[in-house]
Amino acid sequence: MPPLRGRVTLATVAASAGVSVATVSKVLNGRSDVSESTRARVQEILREHEYVGRRPEPATERAGVELFYQGVLNSYSLEVIQGVVEAGQAADVDVVVSCHPPRGQGRTAGRAAPWIRELTANGRRAAIGITSELTAADLAALSRARLPLVVVDPMNVVQPDVTSVGSTNFAGGMAATQHLLSLGHRRIAYLGGPPTSGCNQARMNGYRGAMEAAGLPVPKEYIWLREFLYDDGLAGGAALLDLPEPPTAIFAGSDEVALGAMEAARARGLRVPEDLSVVGFDDTQVARLASPQLTTVRQPIREMGAVALRTALRLAAGEKVDSHHVELATQLIVRDSATEPARVASRA
């Protein structure tokens, strides 16, 4: 069936299905007084044309915001969620947390996932994504639904038509590397996240910038990229430390990756920081629980979540925002996981 042109309404769906607008409305509302064959025909047309519509909301209904994430929940995403929820409580807004895409709802080429239609059907006024990579079909469906979207640390490079909140990742990456350089390290590796991740690219470029400013080469084997998770830090740390000329320091793209690298060092009989200096990124709770406590770049994660919530509500109210991308300042937090290479023991 050819796609309907323009904005899809109940009337255009009804005309395409050969039924009345009232019948389409009954199907949408789950009424039982519609034959199964008619219901199936209407539902198929709704799916084919990705119909989205706003459910009328009673004046007494609280505003609802959908907060979705991709992949495995970790210390970073949990702190973002905490920031969004706390800001939602302050604004008297319900925050519903879900995984994207929801379990059992796959995505087909060129089409938005059904979860977007469910958001409007459930009365959501805005959506917030954590480190999410949305397809063009997702963005188009959200736009048709007039459902504002704000992404925290988007996985793909920031797009001008997607409102996002992040931190000064480039400056943070440079500060972490400059700190290791100031301690006297010259063999510094970067252990980061997905190559296509915008925040990972910025942190890695900050690292490269600091190394180049110091006149130091960056061997290709000193950059190891996968995900921002502990197991990836463990694997990446092992690969780096098993090199013929291993680094004396590692800048990790997240605290969890840093902890994985520290464990890889311990497994090889190396001490942190005496034999290997490690600097992380995020300053989540795990950085303070680590032994030794982790030197890391603090990004204001909870505040990023709060800013995302407030921005989403402004967009839902039809207000304009000053910028489609907001970056909050990072800060280097010096603890105990990095020291001078003069204290690094011989590995011979």
Owner of token pair 């207000």: 319
User: Residue 188: left if φ>0, alpha if ψ -120 to 50, beta else—which one?
Assistant: beta
Q: Any residues with CB less than 8 A from the CB of 340 and at least 6 apart, and which?
A: 183, 184
Reported pTM: 0.78
Tokens encoding 1: 């069936």
Predicted local distance difference test score (pLDDT) of residue 8: 66
Predicted local distance difference test score (pLDDT) of residue 115: 72
Is the separation of the CB atoms in 236 and 191 below 8 Å? yes
Please, how many CA atoms are within 13 Å of residue 293, restricted to the half-sphere of its CB? 10
Mean pLDDT, rounded, for 8-34: 77
- Identify the DSSP state of 343: G
Owner of token pair 């909870």: 302
- Pairing mode of beta strands 331-333, 295-298: antiparallel
Q: Any residues with CB less than 8 A from the CB of 153 and at least 6 apart, and which?
A: 130, 131, 164, 165, 166, 167, 198, 199, 304
Owner of token pair 């204290």: 343
Does residue 269 have a pLDDT over 70?
A: yes
Question: Which domains does the chain carry?
Answer: 10-48 (no CATH), 64-167+302-328 (3.40.50.2300), 169-299+332-343 (3.40.50.2300)
Q: What is the tens place of the pLDDT at every residue in 197-249?
A: 889 999 999 999 999 999 999 999 999 999 999 999 999 999 999 999 999 99
Q: Could you tell me how many helices (H) and strands (E) the chain has, helices first?
A: 12, 12
Predicted local distance difference test score (pLDDT) of residue 38: 87
SS3 content of the chain, % helix, strand, coil (to 5): 40, 15, 45
Q: What is the tens place of the pLDDT at every residue in 270-282?
A: 999 999 999 999 9
| Percent above pLDDT 70 for the chain | 85
Least confident of 20-29, 55-64, 211-220, 303-312: 55-64
Which secondary-structure segment (H or E) carries 31? Answer: none
What is the biggest distance separating any 2 CA atoms in the chain, rounded to whole angstroms? 82
Mean pLDDT of all residues belonging to the chain: 86
Predicted local distance difference test score (pLDDT) of residue 104: 43
Does residue 43 have a pLDDT over 70?
A: yes
Please, which pLDDT band fits residue 41 given cuts at 50, 70 and 90?
confident
Tokens encoding 110: 């060129």
Between residues 160 and 14, which one has the greater pLDDT? 14
Mean pLDDT, rounded, for 90-113: 67
Does residue 256 have a pLDDT over 60?
A: yes
Predicted local distance difference test score (pLDDT) of residue 126: 93
Sign of CA dihedral 317, 319, 324, 330: negative
Please, which pLDDT band fits residue 56 given cuts at 50, 70 and 90?
very low
Does residue 155 have a pLDDT over 70?
A: yes
Tokens encoding 163: 């409102």
Question: Could you give the CA distance from residue 219 to residue 251 in angstroms, rounded to a whole number?
Answer: 14
Question: Could you give the CA distance from residue 187 to residue 249 in angstroms, rounded to a whole number?
Answer: 7
Please, which pLDDT band fits residue 330 given cuts at 50, 70 and 90?
very high
3-state secondary structure of 233: helix
Q: Any residues with CB less than 8 A from the CB of 311 and at least 6 apart, and which?
A: 150, 163, 165, 321, 326
Mean pLDDT, rounded, for 73-78: 90
3-state secondary structure of 182: helix
Please, which pLDDT band fits residue 253 given cuts at 50, 70 and 90?
very high
Question: Could you give the CA distance from residue 251 to residue 193 in angstroms, rounded to a whole number?
Answer: 12
